[in-house]
Structure 1
């Protein structure tokens, strides 16, 4: 398998396992699928979540920041929810459970990446300016999960739902997708009325 999934920090995994073991945390989660799941729940596919805070025109290697670790929560053969952990002054801690279209979309993008011939390291990249989440396939398989440079040759797979004009599940190199994203956030010229 050419897709490398980095191991999550042990405290992040422990915090998710503790939350899954807490009837209160699961019962109070706003995830109906998690509350109604039958059988054991297990956190799988830990992915570091990076955030690209600002898209800057002509920036060939934008920097991101590591914001969270996300785990897909499985019940039997399917993902029913996800769990995020965040870095606190005391280390990685459970943040919340959630569900929605990005669960299925993440699994689909990972399957696409596993079928690829090129080795890569999987991450998630959130782009708040576009309300967009992508699977980030970083070309350096030995890179630290916290490394924050978005290389022009890295591949981004927009997850569904993707912003208008950007095709979901269509892998594109950063060098090719970044100009499209820049156009989406750059205000156009004001039209004057004559």
Structure 2
């Protein structure tokens, strides 16, 4: 494979557990462009004399998860699993507003993984119940700054060579950049 391109969702993992099938054509990295303020001077028409950076660009992945079973409903929407004996026989929605956050891995077909140590999960049960469409969980990830100092909000790594920091034992972190790196 050519590592100069990033394409194709191979697997999406929440807290290191695959979440199931993503609807074709629904995955979007989303996000926002970097923001800056232009400072202009009367004496210099046509171009700013200073550009003050305000924020970096951000990603905010959005996708529709279509492989619905009781466990996936619980994994992405919270709530509770219902058991009859040892067998899971249902799921109930949470009564109160809840926040679900944690680490995400977006493993790409092209051989890279986008690692997100901290993202708030916003999701809802949606879709149409027809004979030509399926129900789905609409998912949006709001990437947040990790609580650990200097850890980046996300990174891209070769899927076969994920950093040692990216493990349950290390709280799903990314390498802290050195002071000389940009």
TM-score by length of 1: 0.27
Higher helix share: 1
TM-score by structure 2 length?
0.28
Larger Rg, first or second structure (1 or 2): 2
Larger strand proportion of the pair: 2
